[in-house]
Amino acid sequence: MRWSKYNEISKDMEITKSFMKKKVAFYTLGCKLNFSETSTIARNFKEEGFNRVDFSENADIYVINTCSVTENADKRFKTIVKQAQKTNPNAFVAAVGCYAQLKPQELADVNGVDLVLGATEKFKITDYINDLSKNDFGEVHSCEIEEADFYVGSYSIGDRTRAFLKVQDGCDYKCTYCTIPLARGISRSDTLENVLKNVEEIVAKGIKEIVLTGVNIGDYGKGEYGNKKHEHTFYELVQALDEVDGAERFRISSIEPNLLKNETINFVSNSRAFVPHFHIPLQSGNNEMLKLMRRRYQRELYVERVNKIKEVMPHACIGVDVIVGFPGETDDHFLDTYNFLNELDISYLHVFTYSERDNTLATTMNGVVPKNVRAKRSKMLRGLSVKKRRAFYENQLGAIRTVLFENDNKEGYIQGFTENYVKVKAPWNPELANTLQKVILTNIDDDGLVRFDFCD
């Protein structure tokens, strides 16, 4: 037994030693949640002795965190694998994330892929790597999604001026177009204690802004201690975070309109740290379409939420997710959505062209919209988004706002965002990076970004 144990320890030491000074690179597709999880996985590699490099550089292992919300995200995976192989043909290539959970064998069959890990395995990726030798066939380790019933906390630091903090995972909703419940499992939350601990760690790194993220963050508190009931509410989470010393800005990412309560909106309006910016999925402005999508609200509720926000925070930025070309969407349905959004006091749109996802109810529905029609409708809404953002920016001119400047030099300019998500620019000055500055918004450039003067 002693020799057996000694041999196991020796083997582990040899594996760890072989990893020392090895280089790992990451590519993240999809949402802010994926970025937070990539960062956590990267820290695990660092603990094993790996050095992180940019994905464009030569690395010993390339890790691709996949997304499967749209068909385009699926297709991009192969392009990214080829990019890694071109940089280093002998590199080990691993795939994790939603696409890896939904279609592991499909990814494993892609030329150059060595390892595919599902929802519960991705955070233990270094346990699945015995060495970095290329495999003849992609190796798959993927659980049944029912097994994804435990929570792994994540946050991103080091990549950006702001941090993405995961507070919730999974979803219990059954929207007819969505595969996320199949890819991430049931709704479950981080404990409030651990969320606060992670915030303190992020603040200690000098990060000025924290973006709360998850699959359905308004459902926060469900599954917090493995229980199906809610231990805390999203409102209680917001209240607790606002009291964290040193946390300068919190931004709420996408939150369902039926879960964004007036108490939360009122609290944000008087908050010390939460900024006046909401991103609220709509998906359609037509009630018949919302019913087919199995959304949990009708457009009248959405109007109530927007009006409430603007009542208590007239300067608030409101972003909207919308899907075009859903099965059964007629020209009249689409125009209903277009006119609804045109009349609504919102700031910008994220437009998604519907794409068929396997194992979703929407693929069985009648009234398939031709792809050229989907593309036309998408173009119309993207044009509306440009109009809405411009109008929102123009409404902010002359206002005094606080800008958090980013670290990148973009063609001789430094950029940043105000608390209400107006994107500004100024001639490059590295001393401004990761600082909060009071400014007066002055004019809009041809590229759509706002210029400013510093306040005295």
Does 268 map to a domain? yes
Is residue 19 over pLDDT 80? no
Last residue of a domain, one of 87, 117, 143: 143
Residue 85: the pLDDT is 94
pLDDT confidence of 250, banded at 50, 70, 90? very high
Tokens of 187: 């709704």
Mean pLDDT of the chain: 91
| 187 and 133 within one domain | no
Q: How far is CA 381 from the centre of its chain?
A: 22
Does 299 map to a domain? no
Q: Work out the average pLDDT over 366-390.
A: 98
Is residue 28 over pLDDT 50? yes
Does 426 map to a domain? yes
Last residue of a domain, one of 241, 275, 309: 275
| 137 and 207 within one domain | no
Cα Rg, the chain, nearest whole Å: 23
Does 129 map to a domain? yes
Q: Work out the average pLDDT over 387-397.
A: 97
Which pLDDT tens digit goes with each residue over 281-314?
999 999 999 999 999 999 999 999 999 999 999 9
| 203 and 126 within one domain | no
Which pLDDT tens digit goes with each residue over 82-124?
999 999 999 999 999 999 999 999 999 999 999 999 888 999 9
Q: In the chain, how many domains are there?
A: 3
Across 33-110, the runs of DSSP E, i.e. the strands, are 51-53, 61-66, 92-97
Residue 119: the pLDDT is 86
Residue 432: the pLDDT is 95
Residue 32: the pLDDT is 87
What is d(CA 291, CA 271) in angstroms, rounded to the nearest whole number? 35
For residue 330, what are the CA distances in angstroms to 333, 351, 356?
A: 5, 17, 17
231 Ramachandran zone, left/alpha/beta (phi>0; psi -120 to 50): alpha
| 167 and 126 within one domain | no
Is residue 228 over pLDDT 80? no
With tokens 């194992």, the residue in question is: 359
pLDDT confidence of 217, banded at 50, 70, 90? very high
Phi–psi pair at 64, nearest 5 degrees: -115, 115
Q: Which range of residues forms the domain containing residue 83?
A: 11-143
Phi–psi pair at 134, nearest 5 degrees: -65, 140
pLDDT confidence of 5, banded at 50, 70, 90? very low
Strand order in the sheet with 92-97: 51-53, 23-28, 61-66, 92-97, 115-117, 139-141
Does 31 map to a domain? yes
**Contact yes or no for 201/250 (Cβ under 8 A):** no
What is d(CA 87, CA 95) in angstroms, rounded to the nearest whole number? 17
| 138 and 80 within one domain | yes
Q: What is the CATH number of the domain that holds 227?
A: 3.30.750.210
